[in-house]
Amino acid sequence: MLEPTIGLEIHIQLQTRSKMFCSCKNSYGDPPNTNICPVCLGHPGTLPVLNWEAVKLATKLALALNCKVNMESYFARKNYFYPDLPKGYQITQYKNPLAEDGFIELRNGKKIRIERLHIEEDSGKSIHTEDGTLIDFNRCGVPLAEIVTKPDISSPEEALFFLQFLRKIAVYTGVSDADMEKGNMRCDANLSLKQEGSKKMGTKTEVKNLNSFKFLSKALKYEIQRQKKILEQGGKIHLETRGFDSKKGVTFLMRSKEEAHDYRYFPEPDLPPLKLADSFIQEIKNSMPELHWQKEERFMREFGLDRKTAEVLCAEKEIGNFFEETVKFYGKPKELANWTKTEVLELWNQGLKIRPESLGTLLKIVDDGKLSRLKAKEVLEEMASSGKSPEIIMEERELSQISDEKKLRVTVEEIIKENPDKVEKYRKGKKGLMGFFIGEAMKRTEGRANPKLLNKILGEALKNGE
């Protein structure tokens, strides 16, 4: 049996105000080529000045990933020619990176080790059009953390878990939005197959630009099958870089080993060694917020939630915070969790937000029997889109449950009068017809009849004359 060995390389943009070596704005989505200067355009005679905020954020990420932070690390030049790299080299770290030897732990206790975490600058962005290629240098010089794992991952599912874990850590620490859609987090994967149980690794291929969680898992699954087929037919895997065609769902050859770049790394002469003080590390440790997995465990402990629910609530930092805020207004965490992980999350994914106190009020109204759950969902949707309070929406829509006995009795009498045959059958013993009467009453009250009261009144009215 052949089993896969997978390693990941992930680039995460650091959420600094300015770029890594100049004071240009680090901002996504601005008009092309508006956040640029001679430094990030690589004009001769300019010198880089290190942005300490980038070092801080990268160190925070490294510590959250259990890495050992090097008190002294170095910058290096990685030389290659590409239109979106105006200097002709990238400032990165090669030997002696910022941090090494980290790990994350899977649910089953297995560890995925992190080989290194280093900082480097991003390149510009090429935009391919029908008429040619355009270049936007706004991204040029934006700080990145690059994280390289050991080949400890043994399935596409584990790879996905790792990437999602990393995204949550980046968001919880405030280091990055880690939004793959915006390219704030990008992933490459190395994959090889070996005989199960064997120590001897197979030849690997690298798959580039897996820019969504879905693509990562699709590309790995495809690449496993592709390599398997070749090896089973007695063929050989070649060391090569491949791309992923997301439309066709296949990987394709980008360049072979012979075409591989020689980056001619050498120490960056324009930057001194990066030296960190103990107090700097201590300060970052002290400012470390609660991480997603810690929040999950606390939610299970404090609110009695099951693991799955806690995971769903904590997957997005904002949702977890929202839940916790709302518990203060509505003290039934399990009931609240059910609403949050379904209705609230669905609205949130559409960009709609609800105030904690409004949801708390709404759920109390439901508990008091003044509004049915079904109607409560409608109210919730309007709360999210209009920002109105539940009471106002209920008043405007005349949604409150009818608990007025006189009103319901009139409706019930109408139904009995209009359906003499069914009433007779019911009175002769066909009790299943109760469902018909309830349905009819709900229709006539637009679902607003208080079910308990309706049952009582119907029961009494039908009994008369039995």
Find which of Zn ion, Mn ion, none residue 37 binds, CB within 5 to 8 Å per kind. Zn ion
**Residue 160 partner contact from Zn ion, Mn ion, none using kind-dependent CB cut-offs of 5 to 8 Å:** none
How many residues bind Mn ion (CB under 5 A)? The answer is 1
Interacting partner of 24 out of Zn ion, Mn ion, none (Cβ under 5 to 8 A depending on kind)? Zn ion
Binder among 8, 12, 14, 40 for Zn ion (CB under 5 A): 40
**Closest CB 24 distance from Mn ion, rounded Å:** 20
146 binds, among Zn ion, Mn ion, none (CB under 5 to 8 A by kind): Mn ion
The number of residues that bind Zn ion (CB under 5 A) is: 5
Distance (Å, rounded) from C-alpha 284 to C-alpha 304?
A: 32
Of 146, 268, 324, 440, which lies in the binding site for Mn ion, with binding defined by CB under 5 A? 146
Binding piece for Mn ion, criterion CB under 5 A, among 19-27, 146-154, 190-198, 265-273: 146-154
Report in angstroms how near the CB of residue 128 gets to Zn ion at its nearest: 24
Q: Positive or negative CA dihedral for 220, 226, 229, 233?
A: negative
Provide, rounded to whole angstroms, the least separation between the CB of residue 91 and Mn ion.
Answer: 11
Asked whether position 121 contacts Mn ion by CB under 5 A, the answer is no
With tokens 């072979």, the residue in question is: 256
For residue 81, count other CB atoms closer than 10 A to its CB: 8
Span near Mn ion by CB under 5 A; candidates 139-147, 305-313, 375-383, 456-464: 139-147
Q: Counting contacts by CB under 5 A, is residue 206 touching Mn ion?
A: no
Does residue number 37 form part of the binding site for Zn ion (CB under 5 A)?
Answer: yes
Closer residue to Mn ion in complex, CB, 147/327: 147
Between 136 and 296, CB nearer to Zn ion: 136
Task: Decide if residue 76 touches Zn ion (CB under 5 A).
Answer: no
Residue nearest to Mn ion (CB): 146
**312 interacts with Zn ion by CB under 5 A:** no
Q: Does 24 bind Zn ion (CB under 5 A)?
A: yes
In the list Mn ion, Zn ion, none, the entry touching 171 (Cβ below 5 to 8 angstroms by class) is none
Site stretch for Zn ion (CB under 5 A), options 36-44, 95-103, 256-264, 404-412? 36-44
Q: Which of residues 104-133 bind Zn ion (CB under 5 A)?
A: none
186-205 residues in contact with Mn ion (CB under 5 A) are none
Q: How far is the CB of 11 from Mn ion (least distance, A)?
A: 6
Q: Closer to Mn ion at the Cβ: 146 or 268? A: 146
Q: What is the three-state SS of the chain?
A: CEEEEEEEEEEEECCCCECCCCCCECCCCCCCCCCCCCCCCCCCCCCCCCCHHHHHHHHHHHHHCCCEECCEECCEEEECCCCCCCCCEEEECCCCCCEEEEEEECCCCCEEEEEEEEEEECCCEEEEECCEEEEEHHHCCCEEEEEEECCCECCHHHHHHHHHHHHHHHHHCCCCCCCHHHCCEEEEEEEEEEECCCCCCCCCEEECCCCCHHHHHHHHHHHHHHHHHHHHCCCCCCCEEEEEECCCCEEEEEEEHHHCCCCCCEECCCCCCEECCHHHHHHHHHCCCCCHHHHHHHHHHHHCCCHHHHHHHHHCHHHHHHHHHHHCCCCCHHHHHHHHHHHHHHHHHCCCCCCHHHHHHHHHHHHCCCCCHHHHHHHHHHHHHHCCCHHHHHHHHCCCCECCHHHHHHHHHHHHHHCHHHHHHHHCCCHHHHHHHHHHHHHHCCCCECHHHHHHHHHHHHHCCC
Return the residue of 22, 207, 337, 384 that touches Zn ion, per CB under 5 A.
22
Query: Which range of residues in 125-133, 144-152, 263-271, 382-390 is near Mn ion by CB under 5 A?
Result: 144-152
The CA distance from 14 to 25, in Å, is 13
Give whichever of 146 and 324 is closer to Mn ion, judged by the CB atom: 146
Q: Closest distance between Zn ion and the C-beta of residue 265, in Å?
A: 24
Q: How big is the chain by its Cα radius of gyration, in Å? A: 30
Using CB under 5 A as the binding rule, whether residue 240 contacts Mn ion is answered as no
CB of 269 to Mn ion, least distance (A): 20
Q: Which is nearer to Zn ion, 113 or 125 (CB)?
A: 125
Could you tell me which of 352, 355, 309 has the C-alpha nearest to residue 333? Answer: 309
Give me the residues that bind Zn ion (CB under 5 A), please: 22, 24, 37, 39-40
Give me the residues that bind Mn ion (CB under 5 A), please: 146
